[in-house]
Chains A and B, each alone.
Chain A
């Protein structure tokens, strides 16, 4: 059921972003947490810094809810955790669900991590192996390492594929001459 995932610190998760194929769309969504310790909330989770983290402060499972304004194609979710600094706060089993609203979520992926240090990318594929299109994504932390109660998450990124507009409308040229001409800046 659960896919085993290991975090490789050297893994370059953002290669495709630099190539222009994927884009982080977390900025277009509303983020909420099931609970948090004061000073360790959404801002610390979304601030793109590995030093600040979200610390939960309630019963398990801990939830991160991401709600988009419009139906968004999600390619994958990247989570940054650090077992060396967080130990028992590091999540062990994570379930990612998607749907239209809180009462309509269905699990897309469940992963199990063992002593992860660095980024983990969880692909969000539907039955046909295509990125899912959804209004809402929920990341549920089911258990932590060493059976810790609360969890630390340092960074989360939600990535969406850059939409390929039909070739007739906006052809993407490969040769430099045409690329230069096709755009007036």
Chain B
């Protein structure tokens, strides 16, 4: 029994320093020596973190999962290896029999409950139990509003969540006298060592009782995150001395508190920094960093007796520091990161020692560790969002920590009188600032999920500059522009992302599609090359490559790359959609259909896939089905005028021309400058014999897109119907000129028909006109045959001037 703790400490140390082989070896020896549940958990954790979820799964399966931690890890492994029913059974009981309610789950898992709910939400959403998934995610957010991915998933499932409700600044508690550090620490330490998680609430309550006793230390109370306790009220937590967390985390890894996910950086009460949001605290109980524990063991005992003064002074000194680390804006990584820095902040009484550690490897390692552990948590996929923001954060926090330390060193014994007033205010400010960032990001993301792109962009632009210029934000802004079909703007934003964060992979598939739309071959192939060089296991890289070949019209190769992208990540719905589009290009409509259906299976709100299905049915002339699918896409993305346009076209094909016109009017009202809608409206007007209106529409269109050959073709057709053969011929010839590759054979055919019905003069005229280039058209006028009367000549002159 005595041997256990140092070994455990060593194992945690190994894990924290990524020495997975060492940790695994030790864990295996420990487990064979003492087959306790803690040892089992440690061993499974070692396997999981070294990237072997299957081994962890098999181990846990064989030995059963006695403790909630083990259950959670087991469920995580099952998710990793795609055994969803087992994962669910482990966490929530049998699917068939009555499964546990949320309260039971909360009770059972305590501090981990938010992660459990997050995992359950993922499970339910994969098995199409959307309502349950939504409930789980909401619960998760209630327990811990800083789990950004839960918020993201809620938005992606189409739920309208109010970010200002979710990310709330907890009410500021008046600073209550901090409990005697010594008393509390000892008590907590003792109780923590022995009691199971569930009892910690009692512990904390007792601690808070103690804290009622006023003490010299007038420190600001931080809601101590502590331990678990989903029940613990913010008050209770807040009353706890800041001291506790540091103590706790200096403890040897407490079996109960340790979770595989929170790396040793426990939350740290940012001492003075303000009351953290309750939720904020929960998940980050710190299993004390092994790094500290061993060496600190001896210190530990001294600490309580040592000067609280120093601590206080430390705290006070730390007050003025803005604590960006504290309020991580978006995402787990940030919070972890913050905690890292927090850990650093809470120095042991031997201040100097700590600060040296702060400056030195600790911080960097702790920071990295956080990221790494996050990465581990996500199952060793290529660290996607994991490192992104935290990296930008960590550099900042490092600096801040350095500053803090310097401040500490300098003002060692600051009197304790008036720390609170300025600091409290500053802390409030910082807090609000951070929550503002969180809420803004939340609002923007929600708007984007509802495809309200303009709003999303405006929300994002409310962020401060340094927040705006981060990969995540810019990628989403770029995506918003690309959804609005403003591809050049999107391209600029994405190239900025590439400059700022060249290692960012998410969102690059949208960038590649944007480049595809803009037909920028060089940039697209550069992007594809760079991404595949960076990471051959990323679906986005292969999507970009596929898009590159698709732009070069090598559809078979493109298909190959999209299939590879699907292989790499079967849950990446966009890859299926892109593959479907490729199959449409190669006219393999059945395969295309199955691809789009797969995309919808993975993500029911992927409106591109619905659009793709609609297009297939349209090509197969099954117009009613096409309309159904377009409308479904429209439900998801109501702002897209292109979709409305397609609905209108389909309605027209079904002979419902009036409805079609109404729909197109709606589309044009939404986006008056959209040439596509105008074009289709004009062609429907032509088909319904409303020539004057069609002409008017086409004239407007000519102003917007003067170089579009089909516009002139349509004008020509209108004139042909009206009987103005000269005008018709002229427009056809213009259309042909603007279409050098002869993409539209119909123009030629229409002209040919003219040949058949017209006399030689007309033919000659046409030939001469057709042979001229655009510039030469002006010259044609005087060469016009004798048949033209003055009016026509005038008209021609006017029209030619306009077009050229």
Contact = CB atoms under 8 A, between A and B. Distances in A.
Contacts of A177: 675, 705, 708
B472 interface: no
Interface in A157-176: 162-176
A177 B618 CA distance: 23
A174 B487 contact: no
Given A168-B683, A169-B618, A185 B738 contact: no
A181 B488 CA distance: 12
Contacts of B581: 185
Nearest to A25: B587
A174 B738 contact: yes
Given A168-B687, A170-B619, A185 B517 contact: yes
B552 interface: yes
Interface in B735-754: 738-739, 741, 743-746
A162 B518 CA distance: 23
Interface string B356-400: 000000000000000000000000000000000000000000000
| Residue with the highest number of chain A CB atoms closer than 10 Å, among B517, B608, B643 | B517
Chain B binding site: helix, strand, loop or mixed by DSSP?
Answer: helix
Nearest to B706: A175
Interface in B502-527: 513, 516-519
Contacts of A18: 552-554
A185 B608 contact: yes
Interface string A104-144: 00000000000000000000000000000000000000000
A184 B705 contact: no
A87 B226 CA distance: 85
A23 interface: yes
Given A165-B619, A184-B608, A175 B707 contact: yes
B745 A164 contact: yes
B709 A174 contact: yes
A1 interface: no
Interface string A1-40: 0000000000000000111100100000000000000000
B642 A175 contact: no
A85 interface: no
Contacts of A169: 618, 649, 653
Contacts of B687: 168
Given A18-B552, A180-B485, A185-B578, A167 B710 contact: yes
A11 B489 CA distance: 42
Nearest to A181: B676
B640 interface: yes
Contacts of B675: 177-178, 181
Interface in B287-306: none
A178 B744 CA distance: 14
Given A18-B552, A172-B743, A184 B643 contact: yes
Given A165-B619, A178-B676, A181-B674, A171 B710 contact: yes
B553 A20 contact: yes
A1 B710 CA distance: 43
B708 A178 contact: yes
**Residue of A19, A164, A184 most packed against chain B (CB within 10 A):** A184
B21 interface: no
A146 interface: no
A171 B679 contact: yes
Contacts of B708: 173-175, 177-178
Interface in B577-636: 577-578, 581, 586-587, 608, 611, 618-619
Contact of B587 (A23, A170, A178): A23
A23 B586 contact: yes
A184 B451 CA distance: 14
A182 interface: yes
Contacts, number: 86
A171 B701 CA distance: 15
B710 A174 contact: yes
A94 B587 CA distance: 30
A13 to B, nearest CB: 15
Contact of B517 (A172, A173, A180): A180
Contacts of A178: 675-676, 679, 705, 708, 710
A169 B713 CA distance: 15
Contacts of A166: 746
B690 to A, nearest CB: 15
A74 to B, nearest CB: 14
Contacts of A180: 485, 487, 517-518
B778 to A, nearest CB: 21
Nearest to A19: B741
Contacts of A181: 485, 642, 674-676
Nearest to A172: B743
Interface string B523-563: 00000000000000000000000000000111000000000
Given A184-B608, A184-B640, A185-B581, A172 B553 contact: no
Contacts of B643: 184
Contacts of B679: 171, 178
Contacts of A175: 705, 707-709, 738
Contact of B642 (A20, A164, A167, A184): A184
Nearest to B747: A167
A58 B618 CA distance: 49
Interface string B655-682: 0000000000000000000111001000
B519 to A, nearest CB: 7
Nearest to A168: B683
Contacts of B586: 23
Nearest to A17: B553
Contacts of B744: 164, 167, 171-172, 174
A166 B21 CA distance: 65
A176 B485 CA distance: 12
Contacts of A168: 683, 687
Contacts of B642: 181-182, 184
Nearest to A165: B619
Nearest to B713: A167
Contacts of A172: 710, 743-744
A17 B585 CA distance: 13
B465 to A, nearest CB: 30
A18 to B, nearest CB: 6
A131 to B, nearest CB: 13
Contacts of B611: 184
A18 B554 CA distance: 7
B743 A174 contact: yes
Contact of A174 (B485, B553, B739, B745): B739
A47 B417 CA distance: 85
Nearest to B646: A184
Nearest to A182: B676
A14 to B, nearest CB: 10
A20 B649 CA distance: 25
Contacts of B649: 169
B680 to A, nearest CB: 8
Given A167-B713, A184-B642, 16 more contacts: A19-B741, A20-B553, A171-B744, A172-B710, A172-B744, A173-B710, A174-B743, A175-B709, A177-B705, A178-B679, A178-B708, A178-B710, A180-B485, A182-B642, A184-B611, A184-B643
19 contacts: A18-B553, A18-B554, A19-B553, A164-B744, A164-B745, A168-B683, A170-B619, A173-B708, A174-B743, A175-B705, A175-B738, A176-B518, A177-B675, A178-B708, A180-B517, A181-B674, A184-B642, A185-B516, A185-B577
Interface of B: 485, 487, 513, 516-519, 552-554, 577-578, 581, 586-587, 608, 611, 618-619, 640, 642-643, 649, 653, 674-676, 679, 683, 687, 705, 707-710, 713, 738-739, 741, 743-746
The 9 closest A-B pairs by CB, nearest first: A175-B708, A181-B676, A174-B709, A175-B707, A180-B517, A184-B611, A167-B746, A174-B739, A172-B743
